[in-house]
Amino acid sequence: MNIQEDAADGVSPASTSHTSDSALVRSARAARGPSIGDVARAAGVSAQTVSRVSNGLTNVEEKTKQRVLDAMKQLGYRPNRAARALKSGQFKSIGVIMFNLSTYGNRRTLDAIATAASQAGYSVNLIPLHDPTTGTVTGAYTRLKEQDVDGVVIIFEAHLFDRADITLPEDLPAVVIDSSPGYGYPMVDTDQAEGARFATEHLLDLGHQQVWHIGGPVSSFSARHREESWRRTLDEAGIEAPTVLHGDWSTESGYQVGMELGRDREVTAIFAANDQMALGAMRALHELGRLIPEDVSVVGFDDLEESTSFWPPLTTIRQDFLAVGRVSIEKLLQQIAGNTPASVVTTVPTRLMVRQSTAAPAR
Amino acid sequence: MNIQEDAADGVSPASTSHTSDSALVRSARAARGPSIGDVARAAGVSAQTVSRVSNGLTNVEEKTKQRVLDAMKQLGYRPNRAARALKSGQFKSIGVIMFNLSTYGNRRTLDAIATAASQAGYSVNLIPLHDPTTGTVTGAYTRLKEQDVDGVVIIFEAHLFDRADITLPEDLPAVVIDSSPGYGYPMVDTDQAEGARFATEHLLDLGHQQVWHIGGPVSSFSARHREESWRRTLDEAGIEAPTVLHGDWSTESGYQVGMELGRDREVTAIFAANDQMALGAMRALHELGRLIPEDVSVVGFDDLEESTSFWPPLTTIRQDFLAVGRVSIEKLLQQIAGNTPASVVTTVPTRLMVRQSTAAPAR
DNA sequence: ATGAAAGCGCTAACAC
DNA sequence: GTGTTAGCGCTTTCAT
């Protein structure tokens, strides 16, 4: 390896002086900030009182409290996390093990996790993984334990592989985000079944006699749940479900299945297991000259940011990834607090977003 | 919000008992692990000696050292990070501020960062951001400072927007991964210029008289660097660079530019600023009936995982994202250690990967 | 080569 | 309502 170093281009005299400035600041930073004792002295109270104010306890006279607050502000006091951690035995840090950063949903979820954790005063320790084998998961666990995280959120990527054979270590509070059944861990997931029911019922309500389904890969639990729920909904309406054609979540696969379905003039309503396949199917329908929604109605699942700009704007099921993330943190913090809940599946509701890709069937 | 909880499906009797098991384990976990004192007692030495062993100091007799090591292993001792942090004032934690998790390169880089940091005993505190405005960056900084990180790595997404107007706070060691010039901060970047030169020279060496370029968006610094270097390389060979057509990094835009270029029979060699545009261009060439590499040679930039399965397998410039991540951490740790280096740009070398999309021009 | 003492910043427990 | 005391687990300093 032959890594090169050059003086930064574009360093003007101004930025040169700024560089030495920040060097100064940095070395100053090495000196510790004001401690609780400094604040106490400045406010003329005991350290304990400062601690009470700092933790929002009520048994402090309003006047004293103000004095302390002022002293804090003036000195730029920030409590020392390390000392707190040492005292409490908790690091206020949660680990996130995650496969496949690339998925839209995963990114949103991670985001929500980071935000929720941050609001609760926890930091997020990310371990990205590539292949979801027991080995790598265990390794990630080990790394996280060494970092003394207080708990772990594991985000499985149901969209890409079946990782049912993974076993999880047991000595750390954990929450799993996934659609697979029973892990013995608290799990959080979008209500796949509800979403699929909403989609199917919406099409039936519009007057369609039958609803075709473009399924996701059979290896995916969420895809299976969506398919089962679609089938059940038809069942309950006394309709026999037609054969399912499966895609692999990609636009391309949606296009191919869309071509199949579109050629069949019987087909007037399609529920695709995700927005991308819905997009592909719509392209196929366009190419076949079938009008959306006049000839064929299409519903997706996910509600991608772009789905509202598809042509036509896609009716779809919105997954609330933010809630999934938030709820996971909530559950995890409960566990960390010691209220170890029975292993439950928490389910986050979906929402039908009606846009222009669905309508009543033509007579 | 109407979040539902159900007993987990699929919980067999076996997993039920396992659940109560882990509840036990968890409550046990609340009790602190063995401390340095416990180890000392078990080994019949003082706590200091244990500390010395734990920190790999040399002034401990081999025999004592073994006794201590044994005691550690037997008790399952792990040093308490909080106590260390309290003593040293360092948290052994670095923050990562990152835009756009979705990019292949960014993911690889994040990965390398997480790995390198972990190996150095640092944890990684991730703050994902959406829009790269000064405000959000400052906010992220604040959050990280509250978490007492020891330093920050900022990964800009040069591919998507021009964020030259962002100013960075100054009171925390930081490394920026980006292609923009002079920040006053240490920066790490792929050697864009070298890569573009490799690509262009490779085509010239094969005997092509001219090399056309599909540029990235003008708002991107890395795209600009690649274009400049391509132009310089042609210059040096005494060739006047043809007009550049710019894409937006997408396959689709590569396809469109590819169509333009492919219709021109003069064009025998194309250097695309990334692999995706190269892919699009190849599709265009295929559609136009021009053979690759017999009629037209194509070179990309990035070396995506899939590039070896393109048709034909793409000759391209490999970016060593892992090294970028590793080097950033290296630089950051140096800074944290106090060796505040002058603001420099560290450049990570590229590699030409010759595959089947390039050949000598037909006579 | 090893140990004893002190203290990092904070808070729980107990005064008053 | 507020202060005092003690100690979390570790390392630095100084003795031995």
From chain A, the residues in CB contact with B7 under 8 A are 342-345
pLDDT value of position A17: 29
Q: Which residues on neighbouring strands pair with residue A126, listed in sequence order? A: A96
- Tokens for B326, please give them: 């590793």
pLDDT value of position B168: 67
Taking the stretch 65-84 of protein chain B, residues with Cβ within 7 Å of any atom in nucleic acid chain C are: 65, 83
Report residue B167's pLDDT band, with 50, 70 and 90 as the boundaries: low
Greatest alpha-carbon span in chain A: 84
- A197 compared with B80, residue with greater pLDDT: A197
Mean pLDDT of chain B: 85
Is B79's CB less than 7 Å from nucleic acid strand D? yes
Of A126-135, A175-184, A200-209, B169-178, the poorest mean pLDDT is in A126-135
Q: What phi and psi, each to the nearest 5 degrees, are found at residue B358? A: -130, 145
- Tokens for B50, please give them: 């244990």
Does residue B157 register a pLDDT over 80?
no
Between the alpha carbon of residue B302 and those of residues A4, A102, B190, B284, the distances in Å are 19, 17, 10, 20
Between the alpha carbon of residue B62 and those of residues A184, A318, B49, B51, the distances in Å are 46, 64, 12, 15
Considering only the beta carbons, identify the residue of A26, A89, A118 that sits closest to B173. A26
Is B54's CB less than 7 Å from nucleic acid strand D? yes
Helix (H) or strand (E) holding A214: strand A212-215
Residues A43-71: tens digit of each pLDDT: 999 999 999 999 888 888 999 999 999 99
Say if the Cβ atoms of B12 and A345 lie within 8 Å: no
Q: What phi and psi, each to the nearest 5 degrees, are found at residue B270? A: -125, 130
- Tokens for A236, please give them: 């309950």
Q: If 0-12 CB within 10 Å is exposed, 13-18 middle and 19+ buried, where does residue A71 land?
A: buried
Q: Quickly tell me which residue has 């060593």 as its tokens.
A: B320
Collapsing DSSP states into helix, strand and coil, what is residue A98? Answer: strand
Collapsing DSSP states into helix, strand and coil, what is residue A122? Answer: coil
Residues B341-355: tens digit of each pLDDT: 666 889 999 999 999
C-alpha to C-alpha distance for B173 and A197, rounded to whole angstroms: 52
Collapsing DSSP states into helix, strand and coil, what is residue A213? Answer: strand
Does residue B296 register a pLDDT over 80?
yes
pLDDT (mean) for B36-49: 91
From chain B, the residues in CB contact with A326 under 8 A are none
Per-residue HEC secondary structure of chain B comes to: CCCEEEECCCCCHHHHHHHHHHHHHHHHHHCCCCCHHHHHHHHCCCHHHHHHHHCCCCCCCHHHHHHHHHHHHHHCCCCCHHHHHHHHCCCCEEEEEEECCCCHHHHHHHHHHHHHHHHCCCEEEEEEECCCCHHHHHHHHHHHHHCCCCEEEEECCCCCCCCCCCCCCCCCCEEEECCCCCCCCCEEEECHHHHHHHHHHHHHHCCCCCCEEEECCCCCHHHHHHHHHHHHHHHHCCCCCCCCEECCCCHHHHHHHHHHHHHCCCCCEEEECCHHHHHHHHHHHHHCCCCCCCCCEEEEEECCHHHHHCCCCCEEEECCHHHHHHHHHHHHHHHHCCCCCCCEEEEECCEEECCCCCCCCCC
Give the sign of the dihedral formed by CA B46, CA B52, CA B54, CA B56: negative
Strand pairing report for B151-155 and A269-272: unpaired
pLDDT value of position A5: 67
Residues B90-101: tens digit of each pLDDT: 888 999 988 766
Report residue B208's pLDDT band, with 50, 70 and 90 as the boundaries: very high
Is A59's CB less than 7 Å from nucleic acid strand C? no
Contact indicator for A354, A202 with CB cutoff of 8 Å: yes
pLDDT (mean) for B206-234: 95
Of A60-69, A150-159, B289-298, B318-327, the poorest mean pLDDT is in A150-159
Residue B129: count of CB within 10 angstroms of its CB? 20
- Alpha-carbon gap: B152 to the closest alpha carbon of chain A (Å): 13
From chain A, the residues in CB contact with B27 under 8 A are 338, 340
Report residue A128's pLDDT band, with 50, 70 and 90 as the boundaries: confident
Is B130's CB less than 7 Å from nucleic acid strand D? no
Considering only the beta carbons, identify the residue of B8, B111, B335 that sits closest to A187. B8
Considering only the beta carbons, identify the residue of A4, A323, A346 that sits closest to B5. A346
Most confident listed range (A93-107, A277-291, B41-55, B341-355): A277-291
pLDDT value of position B19: 33
Nearest to A68 by CA among A81, A57, A84: A57
Q: How far is the CA of B119 from the C1' of C4 (A)?
A: 34
Strand pairing report for B315-318 and B297-302: parallel
- A210 compared with A32, residue with greater pLDDT: A210
Is B331's CB less than 7 Å from nucleic acid strand C? no
Say if the Cβ atoms of A93 and B123 lie within 8 Å: yes
Helices B36-43 and B47-54: angle between axes, nearest 10 degrees: 110
Does residue B242 register a pLDDT over 90?
yes
- Alpha-carbon gap: A362 to the closest alpha carbon of chain B (Å): 35
pTM across the whole model: 0.81
Does residue A102 register a pLDDT over 70?
no
Say if the Cβ atoms of B25 and A349 lie within 8 Å: no
Say if the Cβ atoms of B82 and A1 lie within 8 Å: no
- Tokens for B307, please give them: 């590039």
Does residue B85 register a pLDDT over 80?
yes
- Percent above pLDDT 70 for chain A: 83
Collapsing DSSP states into helix, strand and coil, what is residue A74? Answer: helix
Is A130's CB less than 7 Å from nucleic acid strand D? no
Does residue B143 register a pLDDT over 90?
no
pLDDT value of position A22: 36
**Residue in A101, A250, A336 to test binding to B, most B beta-carbons within 10 Å:** A101
pLDDT (mean) for B306-325: 93
Of A218-227, B148-157, B320-329, the poorest mean pLDDT is in B148-157
Mean pLDDT of chain A: 85
pLDDT value of position A164: 52
User: Do you know the residue count of chain B?
Assistant: 363
Q: Which residues on neighbouring strands pair with residue A7, listed in sequence order? A: B344
Contact indicator for B186, A22 with CB cutoff of 8 Å: no
pLDDT (mean) for B311-339: 91
pLDDT value of position B31: 55
Instruction: Name the DSSP letter for residue A204.
Output: H
Q: Quickly tell me which residue has 């997020």 as its tokens.
A: A124
Between the alpha carbon of residue A64 and those of residues A42, A53, A58, A59, A69, the distances in Å are 12, 9, 12, 11, 9
Considering only the beta carbons, identify the residue of A5, A114, A127 that sits closest to B127. A114
Report residue B7's pLDDT band, with 50, 70 and 90 as the boundaries: low
Strand pairing report for A344-348 and B4-7: antiparallel
Q: How far is the CA of B197 from the C1' of D3 (A)?
A: 72
pLDDT value of position A234: 98
Question: Based on C-alpha coordinates, what's the Rg of chain A?
Answer: 27
pLDDT value of position B30: 42
C-alpha to C-alpha distance for B82 and B84, rounded to whole angstroms: 5
Most confident listed range (B67-71, B80-84, B122-126, B276-280): B276-280
pLDDT (mean) for B286-290: 96
- A291 compared with B13, residue with greater pLDDT: A291
Is B60's CB less than 7 Å from nucleic acid strand C? yes
Considering only the beta carbons, identify the residue of A93, A171, A327 that sits closest to B29. A171
Does residue A202 register a pLDDT over 80?
yes
Q: What phi and psi, each to the nearest 5 degrees, are found at residue A344? A: -130, 160
Of A213-227, B20-34, B271-285, the poorest mean pLDDT is in B20-34
